[in-house]
Amino acid sequence: MTQTHPTPVTGGRLTAAQGAALYVGAVLGTGVIALPALAAEAAGPASLLAWLLLVVVSAPLAATFAALGSRYPDAGGVSTYARMAFGPRAAAVVGWCFYFAVPPGASAAALFGGAYVEAALGGGTVTVAATAMLLMAAVTVTNHSGVQLAGRVQLALAGVLVTFLLLAVLLSLPHASVGNFEPFAPQGVTAIGPAAALLMWSFVGWEAITHLTGEFRRPARDLPRATAAAVVVVGVLYLAVAFATIAVLGSAAAESDAPLGELLAVALGGDARWLSAGAALLLTFGAMNAYYAGAAKLGAALGRDGALPGWLARGSVAGEVPRRSLAVTAILAFLALAAVVAAGLGTRPLVLVATGSFIAVYLIGVAAALRLLPRRSGAWYAAAATIGVVLLLLLMTGVYLIWPVVVTGAALLYLRLRGRIRS
């Protein structure tokens, strides 16, 4: 077993509160503005069971990555853990799966936000695409200034969003109806599985912050605190919003492109499209901000470790800004957005393509935890408890596993060609 420790890192500035905010932004993100409707379409009210399953699973999953990040704070994140546990090939595969899942994921996220703006302004696909481009540009500029600014921005966003979502739920619940839960499983109980695979988009993010662990002031103390706070906040908000969406909107939830907007309209007794558009933009920005920060650091670490071209390595040290890697992430995201808009694809395929890659990252990361963490420790048991569920979710992704398989092949081919050139 390979257990080479990463180079110690210094210079981190993120606090536990900023870290918790980054977690909330990465995990809560766009899932809360779009996924309740997509899940309701897939499984009806029974989708609430899928939400509950993933909330329960997310706690030990988050604890596993927090334990790894506390022990091995490094910009490589899960890629570093895979290298220590299984060697450089596994590290490259994990790194590539995450790094090249962010551009299509960012496209889907930006389009979710754009759909809410279009609902308020009109203008069709032009408004959606223009909003998505502006979101990508804003996130790139924020991260270009460094992770400390990104953390401060995220902390401010998190407070506003948590308050906003709780008010939306509390004000809409008086309009709930028990009849909206009948029939409970219109597509059958078996539809809960595919709904859970779709909803995994809403819970990816616990691995994103592992690339920023070296940026914390005191990773061993601050990372577990940030993780625990984020798990509670995210779990409560997801279950509350999903329940309110079904209870208040009923079957109409499955037909809405902007379910949070519909919920607010019921809650406030009028047209809440502008308010929901603002909330959607903040949520989208928060998720993209966290993922761009994590991906930029990861790309620099992969360049440092030889899994990507070495010119990307600048910025892999804590306190430095990985601007070259950030530029690559931003360019690929713009290209993905252009391709999606030109082809007229919906967001569902993008969600599942990105989710398949992230679940693959989870699987290898949890497997690495079982080898790296002390046996019979609380974190080790947390990893053992989640690996079976993660594997099941990976299988439920179905045909969309093609993307991580292609990326895996490309990563291994790159390593082979690089080895031949060097020899």
Q: Where is mean pLDDT largest: 139-153, 258-272, 293-307, 392-406?
A: 293-307
Q: What average pLDDT does this structure show over 246-254?
A: 79
Q: Which residue has the higher pLDDT, 291 or 140?
A: 140
Q: Name residue 14's beta-bridge partners.
A: 216
Show the CA angle centred on residue 138, arms to residues 321 and 285, nearest 5°: 100
Alpha helix positions (H), 306-346: 323-343
Cα radius of gyration rounded to whole Å, the chain: 20
Q: What average pLDDT does this structure show over 110-135?
A: 87
Q: Which structural domains are found in the chain, ordered by start?
A: 21-69+103-344 (1.20.1740.10)
Residue 192 — pLDDT band, cuts 50, 70, 90?
A: confident
> What's the CA gap between 172 and 268, in Å, rounded?
8
- What's at 316, amino acid-wise? S
pLDDT over 70 at 69, yes or no: yes
Q: How far is CA 27 from CA 285, 335, 366, in A?
A: 12, 24, 18
Q: Which residue has the higher pLDDT, 112 or 153?
A: 112
Q: Rounded to an integer, what is the distance from CA 365 to the centroid of its chain?
A: 15
Q: Check residue 8 and give its pLDDT.
A: 43
Q: Check residue 220 and give its pLDDT.
A: 76
Q: Check residue 421 and give its pLDDT.
A: 65
pLDDT digits (tens, 9 = 90+) for 315-361: 766 667 788 998 999 999 999 888 888 877 767 777 777 878 888 88
Spatial CA neighbour of 152 closest among 12, 292, 17, 288: 17
Extract the tokens encoding 29.
């993100």
**Pair 267, 172: CB distance under 8 Å:** yes
